[in-house]
Structure 1
Amino acid sequence: MKALSLQETGKFAYHTIAEPTPLAADEALVKIHRIGICGTDYHAYRGRQPFFTYPRILGHELGVEVVAIGNEVNHLKTGDRCSVEPYLNCGKCQPCRNGKTNCCETLQVLGVHTDGGMTEYMKLPADKLYPSALLNYEQLALVETLGIGCHAVNRAGITAADKVLVVGAGPIGLACLQFAKIKGAKVVMLDMNEARLSFAKNTMQADATVTVGLNNAEEIRAHFDGDLPTAIFDATGNPGSMMATFELAAFGGKIIFVGLFQGEVTFFDPLFHRRELTILASRNALPEDFRAIIALMEAGKIDTNAWITHRIAFEEVADSFGRLLQSGNQLLKAIITV
């Protein structure tokens, strides 16, 4: 069957791979219908993705159809449309035993540490599939993107009493915005991209936006009735941005790092202690996040249509990928049709 591999930085190649081997009792065979392109994929294409080796079949944001199931699988049937949880955990290590499967000690993420969904069919553990009779394949492919923001907001324990600043108006930051709004919090979005900020305010209902500049603290206070944010989500993966959050957080506030980079985060310890700040890392998502997002989407509380700015046929990806990166402000989320 046909697959598309990222052979090296900036170079894709189509090739033929073997059909999946027979199913184990707890596995399912799925046909890939839609693939979301993630920031991770763009970083890999540019040679900037941590923990990545070439060649690799990319693709972890997937909308799939079940075509066969193992004899111990009870929650699926052939023909089911599903979202895929792409985090393959061992189930035995300490975090897995404690319910933190998203940060398993030997975690393998599809399309990053092991081959992903840019192919025709995949064999997967059945418990990584989340069916929906109401959602289409495009919607299901976006569940994982939304899951990153959902998990971060849940991890921070956001409530309607919070004043939230989201730094970075890309897909992950926008997901944080969306779930903080669902919790009832007031949310301000900070970015340097005016087009993204306009989208955040006019489409995603951010309460206010601030353009990166010299007087950000004063502008942010103005939108929070003179207060600083009780929670800051940094979704940039930019070290300067991440370290600047220590000066923007309210006393007693929380900083949640959703983006990451290969390097060290440093801060002035007296500032950290004086404000009694809490720093949280947020990685991937949990099974309950997938189930909750699907329920919200089925109830019409999350609309993914506005997210999709580009649609590409599978056969066109190798030639189109570089051009996507040149789309600038026009690119939010691209979806591949297989």
Structure 2
Amino acid sequence: MSPFRLTRTLPKDATDAALRADVRHGLTQTPRTLPPKWFYDAHGSRLFNRITELPAYYPFIAERELLRAHAGDIAQATGARTLIELGSGSSEKTRYLLDALPGLHTYLPVDVSESALRHAAQVLINEHPDLHVHALVADFTSTLTLPPAPGPRLVAFLGSTIGNLLPAERASFLTSVRTLLSPGDFLLLGADLVKDPAQMVAAYDDTATGITAAFNKNVLSVINRELGADFDPDAFEHVALWDAAREWIEMRLRSRTAQSVKIPALDLVVDFADGEDLRTEISAKFRRSGLRAELAHSGLELAAWFSTPDARFALALATPHGRAATPLPAGQVTACVR
């Protein structure tokens, strides 16, 4: 069995320090915000897994089907010997790429959760005994230093997580990824596309089951547990709406009444007005032309575009400027628009 390596680049107390900084910053500004990464403790991750099983939550299903259908095309275009996955989590959908890359030597999953990395790596090594797995405990939104690994390299950023970043954050992130890429390397992005607003809102507001509302409110439970706060989740209602001007979905928690919340670990009291919103997530939706422009601004060139037949979701394959993907066989061009 190939050895498993794990490198920690985050200090042991980095998560606590980041939570404190994000809560203080987000709850003392107007409008109030919190980053979506704090949804995902163990309970939040279980809730999100249930969300991915809901019929209305199309992004997970659509991306999985695209990977299943086009992993071979991506493998042929990239010839990757190293797969780097940012925000790897359980690495579930990555298996389609691992199975399709016959010359793959190394898998580098990057995540803030050491336990998730260890669990996923053990499963993958059992399935691919010749695969070298070097896991990195790191924050992909910060500067990354990758260990040596054979090229060409494919960096995968799936789940349309790119949409959770504000435009300036996206530009910074894509520029940082560009610095990781050498000639012949590739970036694979999962991108949720602009479509009927009702369909998009329904994916984030399952009123019948209430799972997404519970997932949204879980961020308050995380702050209560970690920082000794006294948020009452029932005093907030889940809101999902479409911002047509910015072309993104917003998830919010709306205060049902005027209330004060104490956060002892920060020596902070936060006063919410009746009806005041706390934004907990944005999920930007993309158009091919817009994403192409964002990539170009960061020094990346859109090399291939795999979209679902109903144009709900896409996988965008990009390269450093001047490096084109390997041409695909005739008959696949309609699925891979350059």
TM-score scaled by length of structure 1: 0.34
Higher helix share: 2
Greater RCO (CA < 8 Å, at least 6 residues apart) = 2
